[in-house]
Structure 1
Amino acid sequence: MKLTGGQIVARALKAHGVQYVAGIPGYGSWAMVDALLAPGSEIPFIQVMQEQSSVHMADGYYRACGRPMAALLPTAVGVSKALGGLATAFADSTAVLVVSGGQLSHLPQPQCADTAHRGQYTARPCGVSKAQLQANAIDQLPSTLHRAFSTMLSGRPGPVSVEVPINVQVGTAQVRFDPPNTRMPSGRARAEKGQIERALQCLRRARRPLILAGGGVIASEASQELTALACALGAPVVTTCNGKGAIAEDHPLSAGPIGRLGSPCANQLLGTADVVLAVGSRLATTLQQGGDGGAVSALAHAQLIQVDVDADEIGRNHRVEVGISADARSVLADLAAGLTPACSRQIARDRKAYLKEVSGLIEQWEARLSLDRSDDALPFIVQRPLAELRQVLERDAIVVVGSGSVQAAVRQMFPVYLPRTHLCSGSFGSLGWAVPAAIGAKLAMPARQVVCIVGDGDFLQSMQEMAVCVMHTIPVVFLVFNNSGYVALRDAQSQVFGRHLGCEFNLPDGKPYSPEFAEIARHFGLQAWRVEHASQLAATLHKAVNSKGPALVEFITTRGNTGAVEQGNLHFPAPVYDQ
């Protein structure tokens, strides 16, 4: 049977398990949108309000479930509004497939370096994706799409774009589909026995071992292996932003996030560890600014064992004692298997005092956080509604967190207990990411509670996507923390320059300005509430979380010190002006 190019794309997506496609129909994508609904594919198409939101939605979908979703663009990636979405996914190693229409003749051709012809497609590597592929003829489509999925999901995950010109979409051909398992790599990359033994020697001898878990632990589905190894070693676990949730944060060995906006407990343990096992992290957050403006390693004092599926990351930012390029899950399992019960008992005796110190540091930090969690001052500080939210949500609820002060506060004081339940654009800090990403997360995990935690400035970037929730009955709960501005940026600007400009939303007379977000949400068709007093928190959050459809709660928060407790100074070169 002959198929059009659009039908080939749709059936290939179906064969690879894609359950949703998001995007905007247009001249360059109509044929593919039509084919999605044709017999043999029948993949739901989620029409978004802005192109970039389709990529963010697919990003959130993958982070929540580990399976890819597709975004469909009407024009080539190089001239679309979706580049920021691709960059976000690339920075955080998220598998997103972007299928786009071809370059329109009246627009300038995008210039990508190092154009290479490989087999039956064109690969044009640009800086925001693992690969940018183009099918030049209809009979090339099946192999091109197989290649896209293989590249996207193998090794370190990442976004891939496939350009399908209009003439390829509408053309017809007799093509053969190979089952995806005949074209996809399988298995996990394992470390050599000698590498495992060298790492174990370092860990056995350590007096103050520490495990640093990054997003690679979650991507590899290695949380159980991580927790088991931590218990066998008597080693506390600290996390990066994207590693939050790799270990349950009520576990006795969970010491919190590292970094300027991490916990003092985690940072102190990192600063005094003699052996650090870093798993699935680029270790970029462990670089500190030196007095001469250069980068200084925060791990220079410790022996570093670095585990990453991407060999290029080994030793990139820090000197390593043992560098292992392999899958995180397999390495953690092999390390745990190398510790005999007798060895683990001896380790527990030797590290009893160390673990008591760890417990004391965690208790001190929790006591500090409890002050903010119970603060009923008005307007709210960010931590107060977040504390109430944790009491309302189920243990496996997914929180999708925007940029700025809310992200920092959630990182520090909002405990999560399972992997893939804390989603944030940690590396790129994209404004406008959280709202569509939360919609994607709910599509991925419809039985879970999904809450989008976002500041007002961030929400203004993509609040139009509330319409998608209403049209498709997607019950996401949006929590908007309204302080009339980008206050996290204002605080940072004031710290560096001694003044701030352009970070507050004000009227000409200087009074704060803000839309009424709850009222706007009602006009979109959501249930919505505005909360200004602590007595309203519990009841309102219960109503929102138990809504049958999408809902929004607006919290009026202070412009004062509302975010995380800083664990260090913000290093930024401030200009010096002539007087």
Structure 2
Amino acid sequence: MKLTGSLIFAKELKALGVNYVAGIPASGSWPLVEALATPGAGVPFIQVMQEQSAVHMADGYFRACGRPMAALLSTSPQRSRALGGIETASADGSALLVVTAGRPEDSVAVLFEPVDGQSGVSATRASADKTRLTVSSADKLSSTLRRAFDTMMSGPSRPVTLEIPMAVQAESVEIKVLKGASRLPVADAVALDDTRLERVGERLAGARKPVILAGAGVIRAEASADVLNVAETFLCPVITTAQGKGAFPEDHPLSGGTLGRGPREGANTLLASADVVIALGCACDPDILHIAHQAPLKKVIEATLITLDDDPVGPAPQARALIDVAIVDGLRAQLRALSAWITPSRLGDLKRRRARYRASVILLRERQHAVAQADNGNDGVALPVQRPLIELRQLLERDAILVVGAGSVQAAVRQVFPVYTPRSHLCAGRFGDVGWAVPAAIGAKLAMPARQVVCVVGDGDFLQSMQEVAICVMHTIPVVFVVLNNSGYGAVSELHQARGEHYLGGEFNLPDGKPYSPDFASIARSFGLQAWRVEFASQLSAVFTKALNCPGPSLVEIITARASHLAHGG
């Protein structure tokens, strides 16, 4: 069968299980876009309004379902405007395919160093978690695409950039296009280190106050059930990092919650008082550095720190000095072997010795819950950011996906919004990229159409990418957008408030000092969304119910207090 490079590309994407491509068509990519709509290919193309949003959308798609999506960025300006999105996906371990046309200009190429090459294909890499492939002939395109997917999905997941020059798109060659996703990598057999596992088992069993810290790697490895099994076997409480939120059900008696910003928040307290900490899937998670740097967690330096991960790179150098035992391969296999270490006699002894500790964990969580529920706004008082989150959690289904914007809203979600299932809490972790959440939420809904998807974002964050809500209208994608409007970048102001300073740089003000804000509900209606504006706590439940029942996209704008009380629970 004779096919152009563009048709080979489209048919291979379909065979590899790619369900969507997002981007902005340009002179270098029209053949690829047209090929995607060809009968037999049929991969929907989602046209975004801003280039970086295509990458953020693919990022959110992967985080929600664990399968890659593609972003098409044709020209050099498109690629340069999307670099921040690629870095965010790379830092947080998201696999996605970035397709470009032509060779990179010198200004872009300097970011990459050649590492290998083969006939018809060249590869360059900027770092351990970012690879660029270039194909020079159409007959190499099929194998190169499969190589790109193997690179994305084998080992630590990461973005891969594939360049398909115009000449390759137009070239016709005889080729047999493979059917089915035959590229799925086969995991290597894991060699269990019995000696190390014995040490881990003994230290967990012998600890007075052990804590399991679950990170994003647990979710990526689909190891949540294994963590639950280890926790119940060793009667050990589990806390999570922000990226790992959802790795352990937060309504379980052994849940200690999520690491937070306030020093007295429950998870922080548990971690600070632990004598053994086992960090699972935390190698690429910035919250692991809390152990080394942030009060009151410095006390944990005195504890035994054990790490199990699937990332051969391991945790950051600042954390490595604290590690007593490290296992860097086969997270799920190691956890299953660890669960089998406990004998019935050991379990009986553990139950007796851990009874008081388990009771204290439950009491701590109950106290934190009571504090979080108290003083969260009523009619006549400006709403704190926590109140809408508490109301929203009560109305959402158990497995609803919450996509969280950058800044103070992330801290509030950690505090008052429990998550029960993996891939139900998505946030841009290491970089906290503003503008990420809106397109990422659209990607999450494309990935999981049967689940509720709500994007909670601050007004400053929403202004960075609000134009992408048009995609939801054009494609009838029912995402609920919740804009918490405090007329500014709350996190910037809070930083200075904590230092006893008054700094206007994070506020949106008129010349006379009064707060400034667009009418986001009206803007949303002009895009074609159903929208409501909420100013009082008594309105929240009814408005959220209407928004969640909309057949299409909707937006709820909530006026919140400028002065946050994120530290009220700690």
User: Using the alignment, how far apart are the partners of 2:175 and 2:561 within structure 1?
Assistant: 61
User: Using the alignment, how far apart are the partners of 1:76 and 1:186 within structure 2?
Assistant: 36
SS in 2 for 1:125: strand
Compare 132-141 and 460-469 and name the one that shifted more.
132-141
User: Using the alignment, how far apart are the partners of 1:405 and 1:69 within structure 2?
Assistant: 29
Aligned pairs for 1:473-488 within 5 A: 473-488=476-491
User: Using the alignment, how far apart are the partners of 2:559 and 2:416 within structure 1?
Assistant: 19
Residue 47 (str. 1) matches residue 47 (str. 2): yes
Q: 1:284 aligns with which of 279, 283, 286?
A: 286
Cα displacement (A) at 1:187 = 2.6
Q: Which residue of 1 aligns with 2:419?
A: 416
Cα displacement (A) at 1:259 = 4.4
Aligned residue-pair number:
565
Residue 304 (str. 1) matches residue 340 (str. 2): no
- Tell me if the contact between 1:378 and 1:532 (Cα under 8 Å) persists in the aligned partners: no
- Tell me if the contact between 2:259 and 2:414 (Cα under 8 Å) persists in the aligned partners: no
Write the deviation string for residues 278-303 of structure 1: whole angstroms up to 9, x where unpaired.
Answer: 10002632435999x99996642111
Name the CA shift for 1:129/1:49 in 2 (closer, same or farther; >3 Å): farther
Aligned pairs for 1:466-545 within 5 A: 466-496=469-499, 498-545=501-548
Cα displacement (A) at 1:129 = 4.7
Write the deviation string for residues 348-395 of structure 1: whole angstroms up to 9, x where unpaired.
Answer: 111111112212221221121111446555221111111111111111
Matched residue type, 2:72 = L
- Tell me if the contact between 2:456 and 2:483 (Cα under 8 Å) persists in the aligned partners: yes
Name the CA shift for 1:298/1:157 in 2 (closer, same or farther; >3 Å): farther
Cα displacement (A) at 1:177 = 3.8
Q: Which residue of 2 aligns with 1:573?
A: none
Compare 146-155 and 193-202 and name the one that shifted more.
193-202
Matched residue type, 2:404 = V
User: Using the alignment, how far apart are the partners of 2:25 and 2:112 within structure 1?
Assistant: 29
Q: Which residue of 2 aligns with 1:59?
A: 59
- Tell me if the contact between 2:260 and 2:415 (Cα under 8 Å) persists in the aligned partners: no
Write the deviation string for residues 224-254 of structure 1: whole angstroms up to 9, x where unpaired.
Answer: 1111210110100010001101111111111
Compare 146-155 and 497-506 and name the one that shifted more.
497-506
Q: Which residue of 1 aligns with 2:409?
A: 406
Q: Which residue of 2 aligns with 1:572?
A: none
Write the deviation string for residues 59-117 of structure 1: whole angstroms up to 9, x where unpaired.
Answer: 11111111111111112589431111111111111111111112477x85531342133
Compare 542-551 and 221-230 and name the one that shifted more.
221-230
Aligned pairs for 1:191-210 within 5 A: 191-210=192-211
Compare 3-12 and 416-425 and name the one that shifted more.
3-12
Q: Which residue of 2 aligns with 1:575?
A: none
SS in 2 for 1:276: strand
- Tell me if the contact between 1:400 and 1:422 (Cα under 8 Å) persists in the aligned partners: yes
Write the deviation string for residues 479-500 of structure 1: whole angstroms up to 9, x where unpaired.
Answer: 0001110021112134348231
User: Using the alignment, how far apart are the partners of 1:160 and 1:304 within structure 2?
Assistant: 33
Structure-1-length-normalised TM-score: 0.92
Matched residue type, 1:130 = K
- Tell me if the contact between 2:379 and 2:538 (Cα under 8 Å) persists in the aligned partners: no
Compare 294-303 and 558-567 and name the one that shifted more.
294-303
Q: Which residue of 2 aligns with 1:81?
A: 81
Residue 336 (str. 1) matches residue 335 (str. 2): no
SS in 1 for 2:506: coil
- Tell me if the contact between 2:376 and 2:383 (Cα under 8 Å) persists in the aligned partners: no
- Tell me if the contact between 1:531 and 1:553 (Cα under 8 Å) persists in the aligned partners: yes
Q: Which residue of 2 aligns with 1:174?
A: 174
Q: Which residue of 2 aligns with 1:430?
A: 433
Which stretches in structure 2 are left out of the alignment for 5+ residues? none
SS in 1 for 2:9: helix
User: Using the alignment, how far apart are the partners of 1:12 and 1:497 within structure 2?
Assistant: 58
SS in 1 for 2:125: coil
Cα displacement (A) at 1:213 = 0.1
Q: Which residue of 2 aligns with 1:112?
A: 111
Residue identity over aligned pairs, in percent, reads 52
Write the deviation string for residues 431-463 of structure 1: whole angstroms up to 9, x where unpaired.
Answer: 000000100111111111110000000000000
Name the CA shift for 1:262/1:65 in 2 (closer, same or farther; >3 Å): farther
Name the CA shift for 1:128/1:44 in 2 (closer, same or farther; >3 Å): farther
Aligned pairs for 1:86-235 within 5 A: 86-103=86-103, 108=107, 110-120=109-119, 121-127=121-127, 129-178=129-178, 182-187=182-187, 190=190, 191-235=192-236
- Tell me if the contact between 2:237 and 2:254 (Cα under 8 Å) persists in the aligned partners: yes
User: Using the alignment, how far apart are the partners of 1:43 and 1:263 within structure 2?
Assistant: 49
Cα displacement (A) at 1:176 = 3.7
Residue 443 (str. 1) matches residue 449 (str. 2): no
Compare 133-142 and 12-21 and name the one that shifted more.
133-142
User: Using the alignment, how far apart are the partners of 1:295 and 1:28 within structure 2?
Assistant: 54
Name the CA shift for 1:157/1:12 in 2 (closer, same or farther; >3 Å): same
User: Using the alignment, how far apart are the partners of 1:290 and 1:497 within structure 2?
Assistant: 26
Residue 396 (str. 1) matches residue 409 (str. 2): no
Q: Which residue of 2 aligns with 1:24?
A: 24
Compare 305-314 and 57-66 and name the one that shifted more.
305-314
Write the deviation string for residues 377-434 of structure 1: whole angstroms up to 9, x where unpaired.
Answer: 5221111111111111111111100011111101111011111111110211000000
Matched residue type, 2:241 = T
Compare 334-343 and 16-25 and name the one that shifted more.
334-343
Name the CA shift for 1:279/1:529 in 2 (closer, same or farther; >3 Å): same
User: Using the alignment, how far apart are the partners of 2:314 and 2:507 within structure 1?
Assistant: 39
- Tell me if the contact between 2:292 and 2:298 (Cα under 8 Å) persists in the aligned partners: no
- Tell me if the contact between 2:272 and 2:296 (Cα under 8 Å) persists in the aligned partners: no
User: Using the alignment, how far apart are the partners of 1:87 and 1:325 within structure 2?
Assistant: 24
SS in 2 for 1:256: strand
Name the CA shift for 1:53/1:290 in 2 (closer, same or farther; >3 Å): closer
Cα displacement (A) at 1:200 = 1.1
Q: Which residue of 2 aligns with 1:268?
A: 269
User: Using the alignment, how far apart are the partners of 1:457 and 1:476 within structure 2?
Assistant: 19
Name the CA shift for 1:373/1:251 in 2 (closer, same or farther; >3 Å): farther
User: Using the alignment, how far apart are the partners of 1:294 and 1:362 within structure 2?
Assistant: 20
User: Using the alignment, how far apart are the partners of 1:275 and 1:330 within structure 2?
Assistant: 21
- Tell me if the contact between 1:48 and 1:54 (Cα under 8 Å) persists in the aligned partners: yes
SS in 1 for 2:143: helix
SS in 2 for 1:361: helix
Compare 492-501 and 300-309 and name the one that shifted more.
492-501
Name the CA shift for 1:339/1:356 in 2 (closer, same or farther; >3 Å): same
- Tell me if the contact between 1:58 and 1:437 (Cα under 8 Å) persists in the aligned partners: yes
Q: Which residue of 1 aligns with 2:11?
A: 11
